[in-house]
Amino acid sequence: MKKLLLSCMLSLGIGASAQILVNESFEGSTLPSGWTSTNGAGTTLSTGGYGSNAGTACAGTKAVYKNIYDTVPSWNMVYSSTASNATALNYSFKYLAKGYNTTTAIIDGTVAADYSVDNGATWVTLLAPLAISGSVNTIIPCTVVSGTIPAGTIPAGASFKFRIKSTAVGTADFYMGFDDVQLTQSIISPPPCTTISSPANAATGVSVTPTITWAAGTGGTNGYDLYLGTTPGGNNIINGLNVGNVTSYSITAANALSYSTQYYATIVPKNSIGSATGCNESTFTTTTVPCPTVSAPAASAINVSLTPTITWSAVNSATGYKLRIGTTAGASDVMNDYDMGNVTSYTLTTPLTNATTYYYTVKSYTATSLSVSCTEKSFTTVCLPTTAPYSQNFDTSPTGSSTSVNAPACWSYVETSGSAGYGYVSSSAPFSAPNCYILFNSTDTTGNVMLVSPQTTNLTDGTKRVKFMAKGGSSGYTVVVGTLADPSNPASFTAIGANIPITSSWAPYTVNIPAGSGQYLVFKHGLGGSSRSVYIDDIVLENIPSCLETTGVSVNSFTSNSISISWTAPSTVPANGYDIYYSTTNVVPLATTTPSIAAVAGTSATIPGLLPYTTYYIWVRSRCSVSDQSPWTNAVSAYTGHCIPTGGSTDTSYYLNNITTTTVGYSNLGYTASSYSAYVNNASTSFSGTAGGNIDYSLKAAGGSTYYYYIWVDWNNDLDFEDAGEKMLGTTSYTATTSGSFAIPASQAIGSYRARFGQSFSGSITPCGPAPSGNYVDFTLNVIAPPTCISPTGVAVSNTGTNSATVSWTASTTPPADGYDIYYSTSNTAPTASTSPLVSGVTGTSQVLNTLTPATLYYVWVRSHCSSNDMSVWSVSASFTTACAPVQSLSENFDSATVGALPVCWTSIGSMVSYAKVYAVTGTMISAPYALYLYTDGANIGMVSTPELLNLDSNNYTISFKGRANITAGGIVQIGYLTDPANTGSFVVLGSYTTTSTTAVDSYSLNITGVPAGINKLVLKHTGSPSSSVLIDDFAYQLGNLSTSEVGKTKNEIKVYPNPFSDILNISDVSKVKSVQIIDVAGRVVKTIDIPSSVLQLGDLKQGMYLVVMNMKDGTTQTVKTIKK
């Protein structure tokens, strides 16, 4: 029956709650809902804006407007609705206009209005076009148009449109505006329901004082009733409250909702007819009760009472609080949500455990809610009193910071209330890794900033002392050692003696603790100026020993096999002297360790029998009796050799890469280096000279810049280079290289002396460093008696052949009775006096060396042989490479060559030498790791010749290689020869290889035919068209078994015939061929056939040899050499 009644109402045009109601004054910045803006043809057209450009608004402060003129001559505003209830519609609107400017623009146009009930298919005129006009600087103020569309004219639910129109004619240029549009039908039913937008339906975590917001109602809504309950459809909180004609309502704090409770809200619109029915409710759940703010114990507090009082701030509406305590983070093994009631502090009744860290959380609750995710804090309970001895090195304690002060367990950081200072465990430059303790006073110059020990019951019994390491952020700072009666009261501090001055370096300190009552040991910042840091490490609280240790152990001097040390005696001198222990490892000796030297009288000693160039660690102790010795001191160390210099802390690009001496008649240096080392100890390598003579030198450094150069010699062998006259070279201007000579003192004794060479890219340096951008190299300089047999000079090599070379030299100034000795080798390792010469007794100044290996680098030395027991040192070496020999066959994989160069006997002959080279292959390997790289770019040609090849003109040999594209496929390499070895323009092509892929490896072979007699090298040339680089590998030249045709790829070989041919050349299987190119011997493409047939018509070619290049459909290439008769 209900469905039937509703159907009857709709058929009569009586909507349940619909009517057209518009009251629009365009106060926004976009088109209101239901409105569109078009031109006269109905095409969408943006409005000009919202404001007063068309004149003073008719309602509110804005009107919608558009500038209309000859380019935009029409503008409509259209409202659409399907809410008609078939009653009469009263309409009204206002129009206004103003010229576009005040100098030239006029108003000339029309205003009209109409409506449609069929979605714009037909229109009914409400206002026929009404002319409007005005001269320059004219304003047409708001003008009202109104009327009524009779009842029944707009059917219920019809697609109704209301259109306001305007036009401009002629030269008119003006702003047209519309405002205050009113469309009203009679209200005949209650309004429809609206929806709550906030809180969103099913929202959680909602405030207990939420603002409930909903969409504005339609259908003549003039007010709303609000219902709120804790059950579906419930109203036990708010029952039909008339909130007025608004779209939101806020719950006040006085009426706050309950925490963690689900609520159901319904908003019911109403109008003059009645209230909406069947409106859906929206549900939301309020947030949990907030966590309280806990104030005590503070986070990470220490020395907390065993029955601490926990304090927090009250939470509004909370009805109580719960406490959780555990011995690990998140645990509840001590208390599990214990209900403390509605209080703001709680004192534990059961004592906790001493020296234990606890984790605790306080939560709020109400009848409906318990707070969650509350912050967990920790505190550590007070320690049990302890007794000395004990130690503290801070190494097992977590580090803190300036904003997170801390101390080891049972220790504490204490300060005057309000102090700006702080103290914490730090990993910054400790004496013993990894940690130490920092006291920092910040802006404080008075007050207390201190580190406090655990309660120590026997601290002040008069038998204790404290040893510790300390330093300051700078020299002149102080630290105070004392005791504290009450750790909660820094004013209870009592100093032991005066402030202790400390330096910026770690140093040991000892303080005897007098008898007293304080039970807490204190290290107190000595303050002074602001921002001063004091560092403490390795604290030892112990009994004052009966045998006091010595102090101030220092190294006085050392030799290569001894070290002299001294120390300061304690206040009570030990009756049995002192013990010394030394070792090459820095392991502290024990009390039971046997001394290296026992019962030393006095306060100094020399340790003998040491190894040279070794680091030793040394400890000393007092020996009061056989059974009573003091603790060992801290170690001192010494090195029994020249200092090991430091370098390269800033840059390792610069280093000595060539050190050469050329002193005639003496052994010389020929040092080279290709990589950086801060220090190179080449003391096993020597050079020589004689007292009163000179050492000729030449120095060079890597890095391509300019440098300072240095030479030092330790003439008195005292293991340093600091004595007068020991700096032999120290340049004062930057140069790329330096050369010269330095004198050996005339009185210098025969012997061996350490020589140190150095260089610096930036700034002067000392022999021990540092050289931040440099390095050092050491050698041994042997001062010897003047030789009676002088080596020859000017060694040179000429007439180099494949198996021989002629070595010559300048005669010695002491002509040798037994001639000259020659030694040669493929290794640049200089011969020594005991090296047997390979050629002896040469009477002249030249000698032919035979039975050499072709294409090999040799080094050669010559010496004078004055008598059987008097021979000179070997000369400075000369080097040469024997010539290449023609080969019967060749196999080259390029893997033993140097990257960037070529194998021996291969030559880059193109105009760009670097375009033919050995290359380190990346990506798909051919035969790892290197290949031949060929490339041509314009006039820069890559071209390489092979070694000399025997029988190249025999027509019986073949070459083969593997290849692929380097970066882009398509690169072409031609194989041929030069008719004139000195002219690369005489290149003749024998074959051609084209790369097909950057990943697939091609196998290529070519029968070598038609090479003229006398030609003995092949040439590989990159054509440069295209300029895609090519990689060649596994090149072979060998006696061949192929036919007269050349095959680029042997798999699925395509035959061409006859060969030689006259006019026609046949292809055996043209179905696999995509295109064909004919290339002449000069490498020119003379014919291209894009769609070949099995018969190629080549009658237009001249007689001669051609390459037929077949580009296959599978992407490969096959090349055949043919002859046109």
Q: What is the pLDDT of residues 467-480, one digit of tens each?
A: 999 999 999 999 99
pLDDT surpassing 90 at residue 1053: no
pLDDT at 1042 over 70: no
Q: Determine the pLDDT at residue 889.
A: 87
The DSSP line for 658-677 is EEEE--TTS---EEE-SS--
Q: What is the DSSP string of 327-390?
A: SSTT--SSEEEEEEES-SEEE-SS---TT-EEEEEEEEE-SS-B--SPPPEEEEEPPPPB-S-E
Query: Phi and psi dihedrals of 852, rounded to 5?
Result: -85, 165
Q: Which of 639, 668, 695 is the last residue of a domain?
A: 639
Q: Which of 1042, 1069, 1084 is the last residue of a domain?
A: 1042
Task: Answer yes or no: do 84 and 140 share one domain.
Answer: yes
582 backbone dihedrals φ, ψ, rounded to 5°: -135, 155
Report the pLDDT value the prediction gives residue 74, as an integer from 0 to 100. 96
949-989 pLDDT, tens digit per residue, is: 998 988 889 999 999 999 999 999 999 999 999 999 999 99
Whole-number Å distance between alpha carbons of 394 and 539: 9
Dist CA 873 CA 865 (whole Å) = 10
Average pLDDT, the chain: 93
Q: Answer whether residue 303 shows pLDDT above 90.
A: no
Which residue type sits at 75? W
- List CB contacts of 985: < 8 A, sequence separation 6 or more: none
Residue 50 lies in a domain: yes
User: Last residue of some domain: 1027, 1042, 1057?
Assistant: 1042
Structure tokens at 884: 């290449």
Element (H, E) at 603: none
Euclidean distance between CA atoms 934 and 942, whole angstroms: 6
Closest by Cα among 202, 211, 290, 284 to 253: 211
Decide if 754 is inside a domain: yes
Which pLDDT belongs to residue 1081? 63
Cis peptide before 232 (omega within 30 of 0): no
Listed range (157-161, 282-286, 405-409, 1115-1119) with the worst mean pLDDT: 1115-1119
| C-beta of residue 390 within 8 angstroms of C-beta of residue 351 | no
Q: Are 111 and 95 in contact (CB under 8 A)?
A: yes
Q: Which H, E and C letters describe 177-220, residue by residue?
A: EEEEEEEEECCCCCCCCCCEEECCCCEEEECCCCEEEECCCCCC
pLDDT for res 1050: 40
649 in a domain, yes or no? no
> Do 936 and 978 belong together in one domain?
yes
- Whether residues 906 and 852 fall in one domain: no
- Are 56 and 202 in a shared domain? no
Q: 991 and 977, same structural domain? A: yes
| Tally of structural domains, the chain | 9
| Residue-wise pLDDT tens digits, 793-815 | 999 999 999 999 999 999 999 99
Reported as a single tens digit per residue, the pLDDT across 1074-1091 is 999 888 765 677 888 988
Q: In which domain, by residue range, is 667 found?
A: 655-783
Residue 995 lies in a domain: yes
CA-to-CA separations, 561 to 256, 558, 565, 612, in angstroms, rounded: 91, 8, 14, 5
Residues 510 and 579 in one domain: no
Region 902-917 average pLDDT: 94
| Predicted local confidence at residue 335, as pLDDT | 97
The secondary element (H helix, E strand) that includes residue 963 is strand 957-965
Confidence of residue 1051 (pLDDT cuts 50, 70, 90): very low
Report the SS3 class of residue 657.
strand
- CB of 824 within 8 A of CB of 878? no
pLDDT of residue 361: 98
Identify the CA nearest to 56 among candidates 195, 212, 179. Answer: 179
Top mean pLDDT of 401-405, 582-586, 951-955 is at 582-586
Per-residue buried b or exposed e for 146-174, using 16+ beta carbons within 10 Å of the residue's own CB: eeebeeebbebbbbbbbbbbbbbeeebbb
- Residues 16, 164 within the same domain: yes
CB 699 within 8 A of CB 774: no
- CATH assignment at residue 143: 2.60.120.260
Side by side, the strands of the sheet bearing 345-347 are 294-296, 309-312, 345-347
Which SS3 state, helix, strand or coil, does residue 39 take?
coil
Is residue 865, in this structure, part of any structural domain at all?
A: yes
Cβ atoms within 10 Å of 409's Cβ, excluding its own? 15
Q: Are residues 634 and 660 in the same domain?
A: no
Over range 399-408, report the average pLDDT: 93
* Residue 888 pLDDT level (bands cut at 50, 70, 90): confident
Say if residues 959 and 1008 touch (Cβ distance below 8 Å). yes
Q: What is the pLDDT of residue 1124?
A: 87
Task: Identify whether residues 814 and 845 lie together within a single domain.
Answer: yes
Q: Are residues 262 and 200 in the same domain?
A: yes
Q: What is the CATH number of the domain that holds 613?
A: 2.60.40.10
11 pLDDT tier (thresholds 50, 70, 90): very low
Q: Which residues lie closer than 8 Å to 435 by C-beta, 6 or more apart?
A: 393, 394, 395, 397, 399, 425, 426, 427, 537
Which has the closest alpha carbon to 101: 139, 64, 132? 139
Question: Does 711 fall in a domain?
Answer: yes
Q: Residue 1002 in contact with residue 1031, Cβ under 8 Å?
A: no
User: Could you tell me the pTM of the whole model?
Assistant: 0.50
| 973 beta partners | 993, 1022
Residue written as token pair 């214990």: 338
Phi-psi region of 13 (alpha: psi -120 to 50; beta: other; left: phi over 0): left
CA gap 452, 278 in Å, rounded: 75
**Is the confidence at residue 1063, as pLDDT, over 80?**
yes
Which of the 8 DSSP states describes residue 253? G
DSSP labels, 508-530: EEEEEEPS-S--EEEEEE---SS
Q: Is the pLDDT of residue 564 over 80?
A: yes
Q: Do 566 and 710 fall within a single domain?
A: no
Q: What is the pLDDT of residue 12?
A: 34
Q: How many CB atoms lie within 10 A of CB 1001?
A: 17
**Does a structural domain hold residue 916?**
yes
pLDDT (0 to 100) of residue 209: 96
Give the tens place of pLDDT for each residue, 26-68.
Answer: 999 999 999 999 999 999 999 999 999 999 999 999 999 999 9
Tokens of 862: 């010559």
pLDDT exceeds 70 at position 4: no
221 to 87, 214, 225, 228: CA distances (angstroms): 18, 13, 11, 21
Q: Is the pLDDT of residue 16 over 80?
A: no
pLDDT confidence tier of residue 678, bands split at 50, 70 and 90: very high
Half-sphere exposure for 311 (CA within 13 Å, toward CB): 6
Same domain, 714 and 704: yes
How far apart, in whole angstroms, are the C-alpha atoms of residue 1077 and residue 227?
92
> Could you tell me if residue 346 is inside a domain?
yes
Sequence-distant (≥ 6) Cβ neighbours of residue 922 within 8 angstroms: none
Q: Look at residue 928 and tell me whether its pLDDT is greater than 90.
A: no
Per-residue confidence (pLDDT) for residue 687, from 0 to 100: 95
pLDDT at residue 3, rounded to an integer: 32
